Amino acid sequence: QVQLVESGGGLVQAGGSQRLSCAASGRSLINYAMGWFRQNPGKEREFVAAVGWTTGSTVYGDSVKGRFTISRDNAKNTVYLQMNSLKPEDTAVYYCAAGLGVPRTVAGGYRYWGQGTQVTVSS
């Protein structure tokens, strides 16, 4: 019922910046939370950031606090992830997700997922 498409991934040097976008379609996001997760092969999906669509309430994973900022444009049904001071450890496939309720920090809290966009940070 909610389709999500990520974009903006690519190759960036350590210390650089990148902005990811996630366009949502299919329904209004009122009462939803939008989240960003990332994953590497053989590892668990890691929480990055989330925002309440209507309230604007945000939460961040410990590894990205102070470096990443999540925001949304309600009129465009789009959520963004501004990534600054990037580190090689940030290299991963980044996924956006949508779920009902308040922002959650676990993947199980989100019902709808995008297909991911690759971010590679070179050292």
Phi, psi of 102 (to 5 degrees): -75, 160
Measured between alpha carbons, how far apart are the two ends of the chain, in Å?
A: 40
- CA-to-CA dists, residue 95 to 23, 60, 123, angstroms: 12, 15, 23
Tens-binned pLDDT, residue by residue, of the chain (123 aa) = 899 999 999 999 999 999 999 999 998 999 999 999 999 988 999 999 999 999 999 999 999 999 999 999 999 999 999 999 999 999 999 999 999 999 999 999 999 999 999 999 999
DSSP 11-62: EEETT--EEEEEEEESS--TTEEEEEEEE-TTS--EEEEEEETTT--EEE-T
